[in-house]
Amino acid sequence: MTTDYLVIGSGVAGLTFAVKMAEKFPKRNVVIVTKANEDESNTKYAQGGVAIVSNKEEDSFKKHIKDTLIAGDGLCNEEVVAMVVKEGPDRLEELLLWGANFDVNDAGKFDLGKEGGHSEYRIIHHKDITGYEIERALLHKAHQLENISILPHHFAIDLVTNHHIAYLNSEELRCYGAYVFDQKSGTIFTIKANSTLLASGGIGCVYGHTTNPVIATGDGIAMAYRAKARIQDMEFVQFHPTALYEAKGESSFLISEAVRGFGAYLRNKKGKRFMPDYDERAELASRDIVSQSIDSELKKSGESHVYLDCTHLDMDAFIDHFPNIYKKCLEHHIDIKSDWIPVVPASHYLCGGIKVNKKGKTTIDNLYACGECSRTGLHGANRLASNSLLEALVYAHNIYKHLVKKDHVAFELDIPDWNDEGTTIPEEHILIQHNLKQLQAIMRDYVGIVRSNKRLKRAIKRLDLIYEEVEDLYKESKITTSLCELRNMINVAHLIIRQSLDRTENKGGYYNIDNLK
């Protein structure tokens, strides 16, 4: 298959780019490859909203920039922060034109929320399912454009670069598309593309306990890494302080930061409100502080979770603002009018990823990255709440602007077919599951919120054993999605651990006890 633009991922980043390109060039084709249903992405689960300065009387770009820089703990690219913040209102305008709905107050103005790290009310939201609403609007728009093809249940295995094409100069790193696995038919085919965009989301499942959906296995970052793109800041994994605690673990339901913005208190098992002991901002401190504080409380008490107390809040207003959270708690037999919500930090967002410039270009020609899989310099050492959807919207637009100006010349080259001669259908599904559980346990136990060099080195030793076993399995097996995902997660885990060991000072979301000595 040949296309003008190949997009890997169907969240806000990929869909925004696809819609813009397809509208601008009706005779050019955009193919979107997504490994689950077309609407399944991290975007869909983003509860809080989009951080945008819309009330210029009480808020300002300057304040939003300052809040972002404080959260990023000195590692943000200040030019990037200013650019993203200032473009926010224009990108919001587009979402409104495409049919996204956001909550308004009785005066007809945006009903703005406030989250940890923000000095003003500036979170534009749709109830507590903002990402779901944006995804709905973008998909609706994409389906109206005949030159966009969406391929659900298609898994991108690897990027095609000059390394795959024997007669090309191997010094020049350039991307020509991807090898794609049709999960329903079991066939693997090549999509040749003038430009490829990785918009493949996050890495949460590497940790097991995560607020991310099961698809968040770091596929785009791992593909880019194997293709020799530059990957940066992988040590900065953001843990959301308040995921609903479930004894069995696995993907956890997110109790939005906006609930603390609404006035909820964090308490330990004895009922003590502990956050004021750690930070003067208390529950509204940035996520890294709140997560580390909870981690400290749990280590002191030996308990498995703390509690979020909403019982003192205006319940009618709470239920109106957070209907989805209220309903989910009831499903777990928690009535927030009288019960505290058991919560625990869970892997939530990756601040690093595939290094890109302001145009969204990676270090490989014709390859772009956008959204959570990219490292733009916006977040630094710790993402400010609700800046992620904003970043995806702005960078999708920047890549679009860049490609509009770029010469559009189709590649005349033959890409070799995927070769799986000599492989067999694996009967080792149990082996994949066993190694996955081991990987997730290693990451939780050794590479969590608080790290040490000793634990990180132990993690590498254990990870190397899993890596060798899985690589052997990969070479001799027919492709399956679960095997490819596991391989990708091992690559991502390796990057997180190695880049953690390279960091010698604690910043933002990265905390290593050996850096205090």
Any catalytic annotation for residue 287? yes
The average pLDDT across 41-48 equals 67
Q: CA–CA separation, 31 vs 152, rounded Å?
A: 11
Q: Max CA-CA distance within the chain?
A: 70
Band of residue 287 on the pLDDT scale cut at 50, 70, 90: confident
132-146, 187-201, 350-364, 415-429: the lowest-pLDDT one: 415-429
Give the residue, 428 or 105, on which the prediction is more confident.
Answer: 105
Alpha helices for 227-364 (secondary structure H)? 257-261, 275-278, 287-301, 315-321, 323-331
Q: CA–CA separation, 281 vs 380, rounded Å?
A: 21
Q: CA–CA separation, 153 vs 21, rounded Å?
A: 23
Band of residue 166 on the pLDDT scale cut at 50, 70, 90: low
Indicate the residue type of 512: N
According to DSSP, the residues that pair with 375 across neighbouring strands are: 355
The CA angle 440-43-73, to the nearest 5 degrees, is 70
The CA angle 338-341-346, to the nearest 5 degrees, is 175
Q: CA–CA separation, 479 vs 473, rounded Å?
A: 10
**pTM of the entire predicted model:** 0.89
pLDDT at residue 169, rounded to an integer: 66
Q: CA–CA separation, 477 vs 483, rounded Å?
A: 9
The single-letter DSSP state of residue 174 is B
47: closest CA among 244, 302, 207, 185?
Answer: 244
The average pLDDT across 163-181 equals 82
Q: CA–CA separation, 9 vs 481, rounded Å?
A: 15
Checking if the pLDDT of 33 tops 80, the result is yes
According to DSSP, the residues that pair with 5 across neighbouring strands are: 30, 195
Checking if the pLDDT of 42 tops 80, the result is no
Band of residue 426 on the pLDDT scale cut at 50, 70, 90: low
In 3-state terms, what secondary structure has residue 69? helix
What's the pLDDT tens digit per position in 180-196?
Answer: 999 999 999 999 999 99
**Are 99 and 141 spatial neighbours (Cβ–Cβ below 8 Å)?**
yes
Checking if the pLDDT of 296 tops 80, the result is yes
Q: How far, rounded to the nearest angstrom, does the alpha carbon of residue 467 sit from its chain's CA centroid? A: 24
Of 287, 375, 383, 455, which one is the catalytic site residue? 287
pLDDT at residue 430, rounded to an integer: 83
What's the pLDDT tens digit per position in 215-261?
Answer: 999 999 999 999 999 999 999 999 988 999 887 655 678 898 889 98
According to DSSP, the residues that pair with 210 across neighbouring strands are: 251, 347
pLDDT at residue 246, rounded to an integer: 80
**Are 311 and 338 spatial neighbours (Cβ–Cβ below 8 Å)?**
yes
Length of the chain: 517
The average pLDDT across 141-170 equals 88
Element (H, E) at 494: helix 481-502
Q: CA–CA separation, 84 vs 86, rounded Å?
A: 6
In 3-state terms, what secondary structure has residue 46? coil
What's the pLDDT tens digit per position in 80-132?
Answer: 999 999 999 999 999 999 999 999 988 888 999 888 789 999 999 988 788 88
Rounded CA Rg of the chain: 22
The CA angle 420-425-430, to the nearest 5 degrees, is 130
The average pLDDT across 120-145 equals 90
The Cβ-side half-sphere exposure at 197, using a 13 Å CA radius, reads: 37
Q: At 369, phi and psi to the nearest 5?
A: -140, 145
| Three-state secondary structure of 271-284 | CCECHHHHCCCHHH
pLDDT at residue 421, rounded to an integer: 73
The CA angle 485-209-373, to the nearest 5 degrees, is 50
**Are 447 and 203 spatial neighbours (Cβ–Cβ below 8 Å)?**
no
Indicate the residue type of 493: A
Checking if the pLDDT of 69 tops 60, the result is yes
The owner of tokens 């050794």 is 446
Q: What does the DSSP assignment read for 124-169?
A: E-STT-HHHHHHHHHHHHHHT-TTEEEETTEEEEEEEEGGG-TTS-
